[in-house]
Amino acid sequence: MAKENVSKNHVLKKVIGYGLLTAALYAAVFLNSTTVLKLCAKGGVYAVFPIALAFVFSFAHGAFANYLWQFLGIEALKQPKVEAEKTAEVAKRPEVRRRARVQA
Amino acid sequence: MQDLFNSANFIDLDTWSVLFLVIVGFVGGLVSGFIGSGGAFVLTPGMMSLGVPGPVAVASNMCHKFPKALVGAYKRWKYGQVDIKLGIAMAIFASGGVQVGIKIQHMVLEKWGKAGSNLYVSAAFIVILLTVGGYVLWDAYKSVRGNNVVKVEKRTSLAQKLQSINLPPMIYFKTANVRISLWIVLPVGFATGMLAATIAVGGFIGVPGMIYIIGASSLVASATELVVAFIMGLGGSINWAMHGLVDIRLTLLILLGSLLGVQLGAIGTTYVKEYMIKVVMGTIMYISGRQ
């Protein structure tokens, strides 16, 4: 029980940490939207700018979303779902060798 | 600021637009996380309904697609559902398909004008979504009716026959547990790219192609499609961004909802039986095609 609480607190810390980071990133972009849009509209080598932003946001917000669902108890089932279609393995029959018998 | 909006076709955003983009992003993400594709055909028209010009809507949507696919693919890779090698092979061939698809679009536009181009896109949309979507739905119905206790899907007889063709180079896809000729993967990837260039949702051919032709399970096919979407989305985004058409505000607002949705969709795949992916995909395709 105590271990579970520690784990839940750890997840909550991550939710808050990544949540703040995400909020700060969004605030930075939307408070400076004129500059940001000007850079994006330039094109050419400035293409790096929107692409890099998308990567940074996917890392921060992606991590936040992951820990948020975890904190809310929405998690994947533990059992592995992918059970690749296994070709039916035919159980090997024990090799039966007839012994030579001497008929009297 | 106004000059910038006028020159580059970037719209002003109000509270309603912001909320709309976040909600539509969440729904698109949820669908993508579950069936591996399908967000674009909700998001692009959604943005255009706000007054965003077509090219900016497509560019901004594509720029949101690759980070969303990256997060979704990573999540589903952790569940052991992604075949990276198959995804990369599909993406390489799909890139060729995109180029040919764009050329065909240009040819149609030159020969028959805008009306002809619209007719071509609409016809492709209706024919492909209704036929492929109808087949996926019918197959899912058979699974539901026939044997709903079996967790593992059976490979189609077509996939089994194609796998038996020993035409080098043969490749083994570990997670999909498929050994197949690269010459069979090529047309599936190519068609995915062509459809992506025509109706912007390549996954509606890619996922059924991986299931019925290559022989991957629905779970692996839908998860692998996210790898394809990431690679193709990144390439497309760089192209659009070089033309300065990405409205990063729209991209980030959609991402706000879609990164929550895509992870929820991915989690959902671990709770359902495999044929549920076909049910959802077939239903979405069929309804979109009919509309």
Q: Does A1 touch chain B (CB under 8 A)?
A: no
Rounded to the nearest 10°, the torsion over CA B247, B253, B257, B263 is 60
β-strand partners of B181: B170
Q: Closest partner residue to B270 among A36, A58, A76, by Cβ?
A: A76
Give buried/exposed letters for A58-68 (b at 16+ CB in 10 A, else e).
bbbbbbbbbbb
Measured distance CA(B108)–CA(B198) in Å, rounded: 11
Interface test mutation site (partner A, options B153, B230, B245, B270, max chain A beta carbons within 10 A): B270
Percent of chain A that is helix, strand, coil (3-state, to 5): 65, 0, 35
% residues pLDDT > 70 (chain B): 94
Instruction: Identify which has the larger pLDDT, B215 or B199.
Output: B215
Contacts of A101 (CB under 8 A, 6+ apart): none
Q: Residue type for A33, please?
A: S
Query: Measured between CB atoms, which of B246, B255, B267 is closest to A75?
Result: B267
pLDDT of residue B51: 85
- What is the three-class DSSP state of B65? helix
Confidence at residue B125, expressed as pLDDT on a 0 to 100 scale: 81
Q: Give B 254-273 residues with CB within 8 A of chain A.
A: 255-256, 259-260, 263-264, 266-267, 269-271
Q: Is the pLDDT of residue A3 over 70?
A: no
Is the pLDDT confidence value at B59 over 50?
A: yes
Longest dimension (CA), chain A: 107
Q: How far is A48 from chain B (nearest CA, A)?
A: 8
Average pLDDT, chain B: 86
Partners of residue A54 in chain B, C-beta under 8 Å = 63-64, 66-67, 237, 248, 251-252, 255
Nearest CA in chain A to B261: A65
Polymer length of chain A: 104
Q: How many whole angstroms separate alpha carbon B103 and alpha carbon B204? A: 21
* Residues 6 or more apart whose Cβ sits within 8 Å of residue A89: none
- What is the structure's pLDDT at B2? 47
**Shortest CB distance from A29 goes to which of B75, B152, B252?**
B252
| pLDDT score recorded for residue A88 | 41
Q: Which amino acid is at A64?
A: F
> Inter-chain contact A53–B260, Cβ cutoff 8 Å?
no
| ipTM for this model | 0.84
Residue pLDDT, tens place only, A11-52: 999 999 999 999 999 999 999 999 999 998 898 999 999 999
- Residues of chain B neighbouring A61 (CB-CB closer than 8 A): 255-256, 259
Residues of B whose CB is below 8 A from A81:
79-81, 219, 269-270
Q: What is the tens place of the pLDDT at every residue in B165-177?
A: 988 899 999 999 9
The per-residue pLDDT for range B68-82, each reduced to its tens digit, is: 999 999 999 999 999
- Residue type at B106? H
Measured distance CA(B127)–CA(B289) in Å, rounded: 8
Helix axes B84-146, B218-242, angle to 10 degrees: 130
What's the mean pLDDT in A59-73? 95
Q: Distance (Å, rounded) from C-alpha B52 to C-alpha B63?
A: 15
Give every CB contact of residue A83 below 8 A, 6+ residues apart in sequence. Answer: B151, B152
Nearest to B217 by CA among B267, B175, B279, B272: B175
Closest alpha carbon within chain B to A38: B4
- Distance, in angstroms, between B27 CA and closest chain A CA? 15
Q: Does the beta carbon of A10 lie under 8 angstroms from any beta carbon of chain B?
A: no
Confidence grade of residue A89 (pLDDT, cut at 50, 70, 90):
very low
The pTM score is 0.85
Report the percentage of chain B scoring pLDDT > 90.
43
Best of B246, B273, B275 to disrupt the A interface (most A CBs within 10 Å) is B246
- pLDDT tens digits, one per residue of B258-273: 999 999 999 999 998 8
What is the structure's pLDDT at B124?
83
Please answer whether residues B225 and B207 qualify as being in contact, where contact means their C-beta atoms are separated by less than 8 angstroms.
yes
